[in-house]
C-alpha cells in the first residue's frame, strides 16, 4: 500500500466487492461472512457522512494491510527480441536458450503457469527440430 493510487484502487475494489456480496439477489446463497470480518460493516449508503466514509476507509485499509498479499508474475527479464530471438536462443551466444517466464515481454494479468509450460514445450520442440532437421516432430 505504498502507492496512493494502488491503495485507492484496492479500497474502491473492496467496496465494490462488498456491495456485490451484499446484493439482495445473493441472500439465499449467503449464510455468513468468512472474510471480511463483520466489523468491516455493510456497504456504505450513498448519503453517508464524510466521517463514516473515513472510518470505513481506515477499516478497509487495516484489513487489506493485514490480509492482502501480492500476486506476482515475475517475467520479462529476458524479453524476446532484445535478449532472446524467436527461437529462444540468447542473442550473441551459441547453444544457450531461455525457456521460462523471463521471455514474456509484458506482465500478464492472469496466472502464467500454462504459458510457461507452453514456452518450455516450444523450446523442447525447437531443440529437437534443430538436432533432427529432417524429422517431422
- In this prediction, residues 81-91 reach a mean pLDDT of 92
Confidence (pLDDT) at 36: 61
Q: Which residues are known to be catalytic?
A: 73
Distance CA 67, CA 36 (A): 9
**DSSP 3-state assignment of 54?**
helix
Distance CA 95, CA 48 (A): 65
How many residues in total does the chain contain?
137
Between residues 127 and 71, the one the model is more confident about: 127
> Above 70 in pLDDT, residue 32?
no
Confidence (pLDDT) at 74: 73
Confidence (pLDDT) at 117: 95
> Above 60 in pLDDT, residue 62?
yes
Tell me the torsion sign for CA atoms 14, 67, 107, 127: negative
Confidence (pLDDT) at 137: 46
Beta bridge partners of 80: 84
Amino acid at each position: 500500500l505504498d502507492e496512493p493510487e494502488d491503495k485507492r484502487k484496492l479500497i474502491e475494489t473492496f467496496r465494490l466487492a462488498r456491495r456485490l456480496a451484499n446484493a439482495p439477489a445473493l441472500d439465499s446463497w449467503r449464510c455468513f461472512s468468512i472474510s471480511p470480518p463483520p466489523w468491516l460493516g455493510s456497504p456504505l449508503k450513498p448519503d453517508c457522512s464524510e466521517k463514516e466514509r473515513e472510518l470505513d476507509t481506515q477499516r478497509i485499509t487495516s484489513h487489506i494491510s493485514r490480509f492482502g498479499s501480492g500476486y506476482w508474475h515475475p517475467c520479462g527479464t529476458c524479453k524476446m527480441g532484445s535478449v532472446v530471438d524467436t527461437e529462444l536462443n540468447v542473442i550473441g551466444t551459441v547453444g544457450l536458450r531461455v525457456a521460462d517466464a523471463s521471455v514474456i515481454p509484458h506482465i500478464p494479468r492472469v496466472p502464467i503457469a500454462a504459458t510457461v509450460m507452453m514456452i518450455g514445450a516450444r523450446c523442447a520442440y525447437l531443440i529437437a527440430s534443430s538436432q533432427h532437421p529432417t524429422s517431422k516432430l
